[in-house]
Amino acid sequence: MRRRTRAERSASFRWTSITRRYTARRTLVLMLGAVGLVLFIACANVASVLLARAVTRRRECVIRAALGATRARLVRQLLVETGLLFLIGGAVGALIARLSVHTLVAVAIAGGYVPERMAVAVDGRVLGFSLLISLVTAAVFGLVPALQASRVDLNEGLRDSNHALSGGDRPNRARRLLIVSEVALSLVLLIGFGLMIRSLLRLHAVSSGFDPENVVQTVSDGGRSFPEAVAFWRTALEGARAMPGVELAAVTSRPPLQPARGQRFVVEGRPSIVEGEEPAAGDILISADYFHTMRIPFIRGRAFTEKDDETAAPVVIISQSLARRYFAHEDPVGKRVMLKERSPMSCCSAPRPVEGVWREIVGVVGNVRQDNLEADPAVTIYRPYSQIVEHDMFLMVRARSAPDAARVAAHIRSHLLRLDRSRDWWDVQPLRQVIHESESIRTRRFVLILLGSFAALGLVLAGVGIYGVTACTVAERTREIGVRMALGATRRVVFTQVIGETMILAVAGLVLGSVAALALTRFIASMLFEISSSDAVTYLGVSLLLASFALLAGYVPARRATQVDPIATLRHE
């Protein structure tokens, strides 16, 4: 198939493994890790509730033990109740996933994140995995509360008939440990999200070397002979420039964000290099106004002109990166290079041999991020299309304004079809849209959306957990708080103590989470752009956000603690 396609059409196709392109193993592993963290936070919340309920059920367990129930039987009963709770939650989650999976996949396909024919469904394997996860999490997170509730002292329990047994400080320690874990894991998710946000912002702000505003592009499949191609593109450029609202127009074999063909070259006067080990550069064919159309700055020398045709001396323009690398201490303008290993039969049309011809460097232009926005500026050699034409060429049109660009995009294809209806014209789209949909940005945006969703969910769950544990602790310590207030403690002191205990747990979680994030964010280091996985600004900002959220979650229970009536407490005592 590859050989047949190459023979029938141009060699501009870049064959890419669909599995390698779309599987994105690192991204999938990252998402699996994020799901695992959210699952742990949710289960920690449930475990906190079960621990609180274990305290209230201790009298029930005491009575059942007095009637002959063994501790193993009590633990088994509590685990069954917990398992039913987790299974119901898993069933509801599977139902929601089944109802929403088609919408999520449609959104992912529309955004270009996954292939159009990708099959995603909630089948038996997914349901089985959900069942297994529900049972495992029920056993892991339900065991400690079950053991805590079943640990009874019959003499002490039956003698205390006025108040629910508290079981000492052990349940409180377990709940505090769970809160610290929730805060730590939530911080890891938020730090990953913050790093991806800053990375994407840096990528959008990077200097691409060209100006994409108000530029539209389209591509034609070629197959024309050299004279036909040159004549066609000259006519097409004249017609495009005459369209209302058009400022400039040019053609190129490779627009920005499309890797150029590699071309080996040698510099005249340099020592001989072993065949096949010559330096390589991207080889791009352009028309005379290409640099002005794309607003790529000139460093020195001149641009191509209409006189640089097949009858003129072969000339090239090089990028600044190539000039710095191979002409570091001299002016490259006027020097000559020879291009090698290009076969005009497969991809190009030329009036004379391509290899073995010395070409004069007539100019140097600014660097362009040709391959993608995150790659270093490409080392590039530009040649006039009027001396060699590739089969597939791109028409780049710069409009005077955004409304003009929209009109040009709507009419440029019909203009080209009037010139040649035997060819296909594809993808008439704004260059800004091409950048927005480029793989560098699209992949990061997809990860950002998913990671942001998990981070937000983790933040909410952590806040709910902090609120629940603080409220439960205040409820259990109502008598203690009432006695302290009766002995002279002010409401402000009580409020400060409750908030202080909450923030101590939050700070402990932040410290633990920061250490964990330093270790785990290395897995997304390859997705970051011009930012370290240990970026201090991100860590500090996210920590302050989570600390503020913890303070807000503990505020209501702390206020409730200040409303305890000491007189009623003493009367109850």
State pLDDT tens for residues 76-95: 777 887 878 888 887 887 78
Q: Between 271 and 319, where is the model more confident? A: 319
DSSP state of 526: G
Predicted confidence (pLDDT) per residue in 439-461, tens digit: 778 878 888 888 888 999 999 99
Q: What is the pLDDT of residue 115?
A: 60
Q: What is the average per-residue pLDDT within 309-337?
A: 89
> Is residue 74 classed as helix, strand or coil in its secondary structure?
helix
**Lowest-confidence segment of 230-234, 519-523, 567-571 by average pLDDT:** 567-571
Give me the chain's average pLDDT, please: 79
Q: What is the average per-residue pLDDT within 255-273?
A: 83
Q: What is the pLDDT of residue 531?
A: 86
Q: What is the pLDDT of residue 291?
A: 93
What's the full length of the chain, in residues? Answer: 573
Could you give the CA distance from residue 121 to residue 437 in angstroms, rounded to a whole number?
A: 26
Strands of 256-349 (E only): list them. 261-267, 280-286, 298-301, 315-319, 336-340, 348-349
Q: What proportion of the chain, given as a percentage, has pLDDT over 70?
A: 81
Burial of 489 (C-beta count, 10 Å sphere; 0-12/13-18/19+): middle
Place of tokens 């409304």: 403
pLDDT band at 224 (very low <50, low <70, confident <90, very high): low
How many other β-carbons are positioned within 10 Å of the β-carbon of residue 430?
20
Could you give the CA distance from residue 33 to residue 11 in angstroms, rounded to a whole number?
A: 41
Q: Give yes or no for residue 285 having a pLDDT over 70.
A: yes
Q: What proportion of the chain, given as a percentage, has pLDDT over 90?
A: 17
DSSP state of 33: H
Q: What is the pLDDT of residue 547?
A: 92
CA distances 422 to 27, 46, 204, 412, 419, Å, are 42, 66, 39, 16, 9
What are the residues facing 267 on neighbouring strands?
337
Q: Are 380 and 319 in contact (CB under 8 A)?
A: yes
**Cα torsion angle, 498, 501, 505, 510, sign:** positive
**Lowest-confidence segment of 113-117, 215-219, 407-411 by average pLDDT:** 113-117
- Enter the tokens of residue 239: 């017609």
Predicted confidence (pLDDT) per residue in 153-194, tens digit: 555 555 554 444 444 555 577 788 888 999 999 999 999 999
> Is residue 55 classed as helix, strand or coil in its secondary structure?
helix
Q: Give yes or no for residue 463 having a pLDDT over 70.
A: yes
How many other β-carbons are positioned within 10 Å of the β-carbon of residue 432?
16
DSSP-derived pairing of the beta strands 425-430 and 215-220: antiparallel
Residue type, 283: D
What are the residues facing 358 on neighbouring strands?
338
DSSP state of 317: E
Q: What is the pLDDT of residue 374?
A: 81
Q: What is the average per-residue pLDDT within 548-559?
A: 89
Enumerate the H helices of 437-490 as residue ranges. Answer: 439-476, 478-486
0.85 surpassed by pTM:
no
Element (H or E) spanning 362, and its range? Answer: strand 358-365
Q: What is the pLDDT of residue 208?
A: 85
- Helices 536-561 and 439-476: crossing angle in degrees, nearest 10, is 30
**Lowest-confidence segment of 64-78, 80-94, 99-113, 436-450 by average pLDDT:** 99-113
Q: What is the average per-residue pLDDT within 17-29?
A: 56
Q: What is the pLDDT of residue 220?
A: 73
Q: Give yes or no for residue 1 having a pLDDT over 50.
A: no
Q: What is the pLDDT of residue 318?
A: 93
Q: What is the average per-residue pLDDT within 142-155?
A: 68
Q: Give yes or no for residue 353 having a pLDDT over 70.
A: no
Q: What is the pLDDT of residue 348?
A: 54
Q: For the stretch 496-520, what's the b/e string if a residue is b when 16 or more beta carbons lie within 10 angstroms of its beta carbon?
A: eebbeebbebbebbbebbbebbeeb
Taking the CA atoms of residue 464, residue 468, residue 471 and residue 475 in that order, the dihedral angle to the nearest 10 degrees is 170
Q: Between 330 and 104, where is the model more confident? A: 330
DSSP-derived pairing of the beta strands 348-349 and 389-390: antiparallel
Q: Give yes or no for residue 378 having a pLDDT over 50.
A: yes
Q: Give yes or no for residue 11 having a pLDDT over 70.
A: no
